[in-house]
């Protein structure tokens, strides 16, 4: 492998994990198999309705509910495996991804694997594909868990079968320039999410244009720095509760910054000292400019910045160079799993 030129694209690793939900709502024992195509019926729930409510009659209570059911296309997570200098592999808080998937599945009325089953599946995929984990500093193994209604259904009703699968791909930096500043454009015409919708769960509909300071494509959301204060939109149902987002907030507070979670008008961007985004793929990414209503606001990128400080700490924790003192981290980084190959 040419690890030095590894981009952020799909390069399938050897094995993936698959399990299906039985009729009683529990998932069977999963298995690892060679990476390959997934066979679906043309009438699979995920292809036709995304996912339907467990109470079909409720779908017709209002036009808004019916529209909501028709646009949801899938539920997924994203996490990474890191290689240490001594060759060991580390995962960053996969139990938090498992909890978020359960929250999303509950919102979309879908059954979901247990937290232990989710974490074991992620660990199993990481270990089975350990030869695909890049050397330290060269990249990571990106792991993608998926949950979908795979059973055939014609009417607006729950799918008779659900599939949970996990696959992986080695990746480099999400952006070719690494930590180079991003250019952000604020969409005014189209709304990404609204109160009462599914903006707070990780469905693929969350990766769409946004209007105000909110989620961005490829990143979670924007954070504004003014002096010692970091402001970020609150996760109130329209903002995804990102694992990286919460981790960065914890790190910022540990470093002495005051963090505010509140509504942020676009006009406040003009007065910010710096702006950055967070996400599993990008970690912490600085924003170099934001374009809004034909006006371009640029930010000075400094070598010693809040963005760089938080990025370095976050990556240090992920790589095991800095102790992770937060709850759940020991479970995420220490436990091992030895899967059975099929």
Known catalytic residue at 202: yes
Beta-strand ranges (E) seen in 115-265 are 140-149, 162-171, 182-185, 222-226, 229-232, 258-261
Say how many C-beta atoms besides its own lie within 10 A of residue 184's C-beta. 21
Q: What is the mean pLDDT of residues 145-157?
A: 86
- Domain count of the chain? 2
Instruction: pLDDT band for 97, please (50, 70, 90 cuts).
Output: very high
Collapsed DSSP state (helix, strand, coil) of residue 327: coil
Q: Are residues 24 and 157 in the same domain?
A: yes
pLDDT single digits (tens) 322-342: 888 774 533 434 333 333 333
d(CA 17, CA 316): 29
* Any domain includes 5: no
The larger pLDDT score, comparing residue 294 to residue 240, is at 294
Mean pLDDT in residue range 139-148 = 95
The number of CA neighbours under 13 Å toward the Cβ of 187 is: 13
- Using the structure block, give the residue that is written with the tokens 């937060």: 326
Whole-angstrom Cα distance, residue 10 to residue 168?
A: 9
Going by C-alpha positions, the residue among 160, 225, 221 that lies closest to residue 193 is 221
For position 313, what pLDDT does the model report? 93
* Catalytic residue selected from 80, 123, 202, 318: 202
> Domain span at residue 63?
15-171
Distance CA 86, CA 216 (A): 36
Provide the pLDDT for residue 30: 94
| Assigned domain for 3 exists | no
- Of the pLDDT bands very low, low, confident and very high (cuts 50, 70, 90), residue 204 is low
Taking residues 196-200, report their average pLDDT: 68
Predicted TM-score (pTM) of the model is 0.80
Alpha helix stretches (DSSP H) within the chain: 45-48, 63-71, 94-107, 115-128, 243-254, 306-318, 329-334
Report the CATH number at residue 147. Answer: 3.30.470.10
**Which pLDDT score is estimated for 340?**
38
């Amino acid at each position: 492998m040419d690890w030095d030129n590894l981009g952020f694209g799909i390069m399938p690793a050897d094995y993936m994990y698959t399990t299906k939900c039985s009729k009683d709502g529990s998932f069977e024992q999963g298995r690892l198999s060679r990476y390959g195509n997934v066979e679906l019926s043309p009438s699979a729930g995920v292809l036709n309705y995304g996912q339907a409510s467990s109470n079909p009659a409720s779908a017709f209570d209002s036009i808004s509910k019916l529209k909501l059911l028709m646009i949801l296309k899938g539920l997924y997570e994203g996490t990474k495996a890191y290689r240490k200098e001594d060759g060991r592999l580390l995962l960053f808080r996969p139990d938090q991804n498992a909890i978020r998937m359960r929250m999303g599945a509950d919102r979309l009325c879908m059954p979901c694997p247990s937290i232990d089953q989710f974490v074991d599946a992620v660990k199993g995929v990481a270990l089975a594909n350990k030869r695909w984990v890049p050397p330290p500093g060269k990249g990571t193994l990106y792991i993608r868990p998926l949950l979908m209604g795979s059973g055939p259904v014609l009417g607006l009703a729950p799918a008779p079968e659900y599939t949970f699968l996990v696959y992986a791909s080695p990746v480099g930096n999400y952006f070719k320039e690494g930590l180079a500043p991003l250019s952000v454009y604020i969409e005014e015409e189209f709304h990404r999410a609204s109160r009462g919708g599914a903006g707070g769960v990780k469905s693929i509909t969350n990766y769409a244009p946004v209007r105000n300071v909110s989620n961005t494509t490829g990143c979670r959301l924007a954070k504004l720095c003014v002096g010692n204060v970091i402001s970020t939109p609150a996760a109130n149902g329209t903002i995804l509760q990102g694992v990286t987002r919460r981790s960065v907030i914890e790190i910022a507070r540990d470093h002495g910054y005051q963090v505010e979670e509140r509504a942020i008008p676009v006009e406040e961007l003009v007065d910010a000292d710096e702006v950055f985004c967070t996400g599993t793929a990008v970690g912490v990414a600085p924003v170099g400019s934001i374009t809004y209503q034909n006006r371009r606001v640029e930010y000075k990128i400094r070598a010693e910045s809040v963005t760089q400080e938080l990025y370095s700490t976050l990556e240090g924790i992920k790589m095991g160079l800095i102790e992770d003192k937060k709850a759940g981290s020991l479970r995420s980084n220490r436990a091992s799993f030895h899967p059975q190959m099929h």
